[in-house]
């Protein structure tokens, strides 16, 4: 399956990513640079990074398996992100930037006090590590199938690479590599989708619609409309709280940009990507349902053979050498997610525990060194967890990540979201709401039974397996949101008993939220042109390498695929260099400190 040209593509990609990490290793002067790029990155770079952090190899493995089995039904999961992103655009994104902090949990400390900050530190860290491990497991599963190697060995090798890049480059390296990798993922997956439709056995988009199994478009065979509607609503509600929460990894992305306007503009990239991306990604997996109706015999090393659906179509249609480029793109999707997990997890530990608890007077230079060491340790931990996940997981990646996201994420997200909009709750409202949410999530595991499902008006049996699975998600979200929200607002009865110091901090928190950053905030040629010019050079370099593959023995169509992929990357890189590469350099104006004396908020 893998040719020498594929191996060359993969080898260059790994060398390129490590090179990016090494290049940006010296660019971070303090923890503000290391964790949020100094808060002055262009909106289109931060927007790309936010979109890339939102999906991983799971898109091409777990989701691909679901699409292979159920067709367009899986699009419901992707499009459940649209409402949360619109809410984020309207009311959430600019609030994160106005807080003027380095990490979101520092803002949580100001809103709910140091106790809440420590609770979230020690709850968020393991959750981030767990989801990072699932991402690494997903890409390990995929690449093990490609190379016919043991999954554990592949996980360890890939994990070491990810840990090294995260530790070296910080947020600057992550943002730069995210943009280049976005170009790679988009161009190669579009080519794969187009070639998948061009297969004679598929017969274009019309043929795809006519020849796939009936349930790929007839959702009623999978689940009744009322279950699908409630599932979509539950996922949308869950994601709305998560994306508009200080407990979400995405909040840190909006702290990287320059001002309110740019924070809003950057949401447009993940919003457009969430609308158009799934329409591209579902085609190869649905085509596999026609051309490879049984995958178990083709991938005996995979526990869930249907997770190779995207891969098998790519193997069939891509020209010689481009499968390696696709593998790089899929790995890129996971690398960006894991980079974000390691970098932001490190920021949580260093800025929310090491600095305020262990060494409050730690100088910035030493704090930067500590951050890099911690990033390496977290990378190693994710590798260990990924190996454990691969050994013991008993569900497919699609359903497993959905269940984990609902059970773990929403109890943490509720108070961290509601606290951005509602002032009159005491310090203990955050941690107590989290505990209520976890209790409700745990209780749902025992309350949500077939008997309960049959007792719900309009949802009686008999039930398909999918209906039973989604009802568990629906009931958990409903129970957690209802109990957590009720409790959070109930605690407002005790707000007047809060200490004057706490109420002063809350006033400061909402004062920041109501104080816009000026349109020219953080604008300087040094910060706003040197970095994107470097990103342009990286894009151009990678595009030139890809374009060189027009020289390898392929059909005219195969050569045109390389010309399209490499040419588009070169074009965008060249435009960025032309736009940003000829500007004089001026010193950057530092962001004004707004924290009170003694607070660990930048």
Q: Is 429 exposed, middle or buried (0-12, 13-18, 19+ CB in 10 A)?
A: buried
- How remote is the C-alpha of 477 from its chain's centroid? 21
454, pLDDT greater than 50 = yes
CA gap 105, 110 in Å, rounded: 9
The model carries a pTM of: 0.81
CA gap 2, 485 in Å, rounded: 52
517, pLDDT greater than 90 = no
Helix (H) or strand (E) holding 430: helix 428-447
Q: pLDDT over 90 for what percent of the chain?
A: 28
C-alpha separations of 239 from 86, 131, 235, 275, 591 in Å: 11, 15, 6, 16, 31
Rounded to 5°, angle at Cα 272 from 54 and 44: 75
**Per-residue pLDDT tens for 122-139?**
888 887 787 778 778 777
C-alpha separations of 443 from 175, 440, 451, 476 in Å: 40, 5, 15, 9
For residue 422, the SS3 value is coil
Which of 13-27, 110-124, 206-220, 403-417 comes out lowest in average pLDDT? 403-417
19, pLDDT greater than 90 = no
Give me the residue label for tokens 């997610």: 337
Which tokens sit at 126?
């393991």
Which pLDDT band holds residue 160 (cuts at 50, 70, 90)?
Answer: confident
Residues whose CB is less than 8 angstroms from the CB of residue 272 and which lie 6 or more positions away in sequence, other chains included: none
């Amino acid at each position: 399956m893998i040719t020498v040209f594929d191996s060359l593509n993969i080898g260059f990609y790994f060398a390129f990513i490590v090179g990016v990490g090494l290049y940006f290793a010296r660019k971070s002067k303090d923890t503000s640079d290391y964790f949020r790029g100094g808060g002055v990155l262009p909106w289109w770079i931060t927007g790309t990074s936010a979109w890339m952090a939102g999906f991983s190899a799971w898109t091409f493995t777990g989701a691909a398996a679901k699409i292979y089995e159920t067709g367009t039904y899986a699009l419901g999961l992707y499009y459940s992100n649209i409402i949360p992103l619109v809410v984020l655009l309207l009311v959430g994104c600019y609030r994160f930037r106005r807080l003027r902090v380095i990490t979101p949990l520092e803002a949580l400390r100001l809103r709910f006090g140091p106790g809440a900050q420590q609770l979230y530190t020690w709850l968020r860290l393991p959750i981030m590590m767990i989801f990072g491990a699932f991402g690494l497991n997903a890409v390990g599963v995929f690449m093990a199938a490609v190379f016919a190697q043991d999954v554990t060995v592949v996980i360890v090798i890939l994990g070491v690479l990810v840990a090294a890049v995260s530790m070296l480059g910080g947020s600057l390296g992550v943002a730069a590599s995210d943009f280049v990798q976005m170009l790679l993922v988009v161009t190669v997956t579009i080519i794969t989708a187009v070639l998948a439709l061009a297969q004679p056995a598929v017969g274009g988009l019309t043929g795809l619609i006519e020849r796939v199994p009936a349930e790929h478009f007839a959702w009623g065979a999978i689940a009744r409309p009322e279950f699908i509607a409630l599932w979509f609503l539950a996922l949308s509600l869950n994601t709305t709280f998560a994306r508009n929460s200080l407990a979400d990894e995405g909040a840190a992305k909006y702290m990287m940009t320059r001002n309110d306007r740019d924070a809003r503009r950057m949401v447009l990239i993940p919003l457009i990507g969430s609308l158009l991306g799934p329409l591209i990604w579902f085609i190869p997996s649905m085509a596999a349902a026609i051309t490879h109706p049984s995958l178990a015999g083709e991938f005996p090393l995979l526990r869930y053979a249907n997770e190779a659906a995207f891969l098998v179509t790519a193997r069939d249609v891509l020209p010689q050498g481009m499968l390696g480029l696709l593998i790089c793109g899929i790995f890129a999707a996971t690398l960006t997610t894991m980079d974000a997990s390691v970098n932001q997890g490190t920021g949580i530990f260093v800025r929310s525990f090491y600095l305020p608890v262990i060494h409050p007077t730690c100088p910035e230079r030493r704090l930067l060194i500590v951050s890099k060491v911690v990033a390496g340790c977290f990378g190693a931990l994710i590798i260990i967890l990924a190996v454990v996940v691969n050994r013991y997981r008993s569900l497919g990646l699609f359903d497993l990540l959905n269940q984990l996201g609902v059970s773990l994420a929403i109890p943490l997200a509720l108070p961290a979201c509601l606290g951005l909009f509602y002032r009159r709750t005491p310090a203990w409202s955050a941690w107590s709401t989290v505990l209520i949410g976890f209790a409700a999530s745990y209780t749902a595991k025992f309350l949500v039974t077939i008997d309960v499902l049959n007792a719900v008006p309009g949802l009686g049996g008999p039930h398909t397996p999918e209906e039973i699975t989604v009802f568990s998600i629906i009931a958990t979200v409903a129970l957690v949101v209802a109990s957590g929200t009720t409790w959070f607002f109930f605690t407002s009865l005790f707000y007047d008993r809060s200490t004057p110091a706490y109420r002063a901090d809350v006033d400061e928190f909402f004062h920041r939220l109501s104080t816009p950053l000026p349109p020219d905030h953080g604008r300087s040629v040094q910060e706003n042109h040197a970095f994107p010019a470097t990103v342009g050079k990286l894009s151009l370099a990678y595009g030139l390498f890809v374009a060189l593959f027009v020289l390898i023995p392929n059909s005219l169509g195969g050569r045109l695929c390389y010309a399209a992929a490499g040419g588009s990357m070169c074009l965008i890189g060249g435009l960025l260099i032309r736009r940003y590469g000829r500007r004089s350099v001026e010193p950057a104006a530092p962001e004004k400190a707004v924290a009170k004396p003694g607070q660990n908020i930048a």
